[in-house]
Structure 1
Amino acid sequence: MQIKDFKVDETLKELTKHHTVVLPIACYETTIAQNIHGYIPLHWHEEIQFVLIVKGEAIFQINEEKLVVREGDGLFINSGCLHMAEEKNQSGCVYICLNVDPHFLLPQELRATYVYPYIQATNIPYLYINAEDLWGKNILDACIKINQSIQRKLPYYEIEITGQLTFIWQNLIMNGLKLEYDQTEMLKSHRMKQMLNWIHLHYTEKIRLDDIARAGQLSRSECCRYFKRILKTTPLSYVMEYRIQKSLILLQQAESNVTEVAYQVGFNSTSYFIDKFRKSMHMTPLVYKKTKGEEQLRHRDVCLRKDLYYPEIENVDESINQNE
């Protein structure tokens, strides 16, 4: 399953429900370039995440740090950490993504000792998983097995998955991790999320640097340092890019027009919107709208042809739903 447009709330918390029918996990393959934005935008979630790059290379940012993850290797992203991803050098990057509710890793009696200390530690926002290390290979192989189990859904596959998750977590925490708890880091993360939250609530309005700094209880200069250090951009540049990204969804609606979209996402000039959109997306909003419209038509044609060739599939789905 490919999630092309996952939803986030005002704090950038991802709203996608990470679970199958009976398990509080999700495992799916993601082609980065197929996301509606062309990359995986900044977000966070309570679940821990394991990534395995099956094709190409990806550049991940977790909190303040950026790193390249090679084909065959992977990544552990801790609960609550801001992260985003883009493919490197148009490599056609595809990765398996496994999101797990921390409460599902181990029985309740073991969580206080073997789960909570690790997801609360401030020195483990992520871990690079190298396939050449035994512990790393064990984790990545288990991720593949979980992905296969979810796809096949053989009898008792839920039990198989729980066993693999225990194996993954055991290999991770037995890697000699030294746990640290820095209150300054916790406060920094909280303030960053507060500022992002304020921007995402008010992006359609006129925004000043003072407003953003006040949301994080920071001075103007310290606010700029936060954005530069963590997001590698300025606060107002982030606002501009966020408005552009919000416009992508609106432009794909058949009844929308460029001028209306410009004002809906906070621009007070159509020409200014077009100029900034072109610099960000390397095309005009109108070209983007027409391109996406043609893609949607092609997709509908493919679906229609499938229905014509395989009309019985609909009846099969109905019978399955009735048996659930």
Structure 2
Amino acid sequence: MESIEIDHNLKELTQHRTVVLPIACYETRVNQNVLGYIPLHWHDELQFVFIKKGEATFQLNGENVVVREGDGLFINSGILHMAEERNQSDCTYICLNVSPHFVLSQELYTRYVAPYIQATNLSCFHVDANVSWGKSVLDAIEQINQSIQQKAPYYEMDITIQLTVIWKNIIMNGFPLKYDQTAMLKGQRLKQMINWIHLHYSEKIMLDDIARAGQLSRSECCRYFKRILKTTPLSYVMDYRIQKSLSLLQQADSNVTEVAYQVGFNSTSYFIERFRNMMNRTPLAYKKLKMDEGY
């Protein structure tokens, strides 16, 4: 089973680079993630997605974007996002992550890259294979993937050429950029609240605590979570606790009650109920499954 490692800030820990290039390109099969979906996270890199099979729903800053087989998606730097497959389609996609400073030369970065990663109205961008520029972007993603796998002579230069093709098509077919200070502040406050939860999930957490971390009232805190993450703050806490329990349950000497208390539940029965709702099996059944896979 695959897993995306993230730190307490929700920032992805995956090294998005090869030995010589600040870039990573790999295929992701959504339902093979340990949770059955790609959990909420963010990264500094720009991300380009090309759906090779099936379809997926990406949630980005409260917006749901459906991307179908053959199409793609651009996800901007620093954007909170998650993904789940649709209609049990066994969604598989190429994921290309690129450092913003590698997209173009430093001389062109200030004019042609920085304004786009700072814009507040460009969290994502659907790439349609049925239009010529969209097909050019998707073909370039696939060529980069092949270049990294094959490593033919001078493949690094081939990659830089294809990146230029991708970025030129994205910015030529975009829309007027906006810079909304309020939107920037909202994004920062949400990350602050999530960061606080990830640091304190094993402790007793009250709504007031989460709101205080974001310098918000209780009602504003709830609105932030509902609008952007489609859940309540305390439901997010419970779900995150379940995520953290997965690795603990895989330890041979762990038991369900101990794990429940380690991740912040004060009731084993409630932990089992929440776990079953999220993972479609009990914690004990999950533990046995992982133990069996280990042999």
Q: Give the partner amino acid of 1:181.
A: Y
| Aligned mates of 1:133, 1:146 — CA distance in 2 | 20
Query: Which residue in the other structure is 1:223 paired with?
Result: 221
Shift of 1:255: 2.1
1:135 equivalenced with 2:139 (yes/no):
no
Range with greater deviation from structure 2 (170-179 or 228-237): 170-179
- Unpaired segments ≥5 residues, structure 1: 298-324
User: What is the aligned counterpart of 1:191 among 189, 192, 208?
Assistant: 189
Compute the displacement of 1:176 (Å): 4.2
Where structure 2 has 5 or more consecutive residues not aligned to the other structure, the ranges are none
Which residue identity does 2:102 align to in structure 1?
F
- In the alignment, the residues of structure 2 paired with residue 202 and residue 286 of structure 1 have an alpha-carbon distance, to the nearest angstrom, of 25
State the 1:296 CA deviation. 2.6
Pick one of 159, 162, 165 that aligns with 1:164: 162
Look up the match of 2:230.
Answer: 232
Moved more, 152-161 or 204-213: 152-161
Tell me, in whole angstroms, the C-alpha distance in 1 between the residues paired with 2:250 and 2:294: 9
Shift, 1:185, TM fit: 0.4
CA distance in 1, matches of 2:223, 2:174: 33
Residue identity (%):
72
RMSD over equivalenced CA pairs, Å: 1.0
1:1-324 matched pairs, under 5 angstroms: 4-297=2-295
Could you tell me how far apart the structure 2 residues matched to 1:138 and 1:185 are? 32
Q: Which moved more, 1:256-265 or 1:39-48?
A: 256-265
For 2:173, what is the secondary structure of its paired residue? Answer: coil
CA distance in 2, matches of 1:182, 1:88: 32
Shift of 1:279: 1.9
3-state DSSP of counterpart to 1:149: helix
C-alpha change, 1:35 and 1:176, in structure 2 (3 Å) is: closer
What's the secondary structure of 2:115's corresponding residue?
helix
Contact 2:48/2:74, CA 8 A, preserved across alignment = yes
CA distance in 2, matches of 1:166, 1:68: 26
Q: What is the TM-score with the length of structure 2 in the denominator?
A: 0.98
2-side partners of 1:163 and 1:273: how far apart?
A: 51
TM-score, with structure 1 as normaliser: 0.90
- Distance in 2 between residues matched to 1:70 and 1:5, nearest whole Å: 23
Q: Which amino acid aligns with 2:104?
A: L
Distance 2:277 2:170 in 1: 42
Which secondary structure does the structure 2 equivalent of 1:18 belong to?
A: coil
Deviations 1:26-63 (A, max 9, x none): 00000001011110000000000000000001010011
Q: Which deviates more, 253-262 or 225-234?
A: 253-262
Partners of 1:200 and 1:70 lie apart in 2 by 32
Distance in 1 separating the partners of 2:15 and 2:174: 32
2: CA distance, partners of 1:131 / 1:94: 16
CA distance in 2, matches of 1:171, 1:279: 43
Q: Counterparts of 1:241 and 1:51 in 2: how far apart (Å)?
A: 26
Where 2:177 maps in the other structure, the secondary structure is: coil
Structure-2 separation of matches of 1:90 and 1:252? 26
- Quote the Cα distance in structure 1 between the aligned partners of 2:131 and 2:253: 53
Separation in structure 1 between the aligned mates of residue 114 and residue 90 of structure 2, nearest angstrom: 36
The alpha carbon displacement at 1:295 in A equals: 2.1
Q: How many pairs were matched up? A: 295
Measured in 1, the distance between the counterparts of 2:138 and 2:278 equals 35
Structure number with bigger Rg? 1
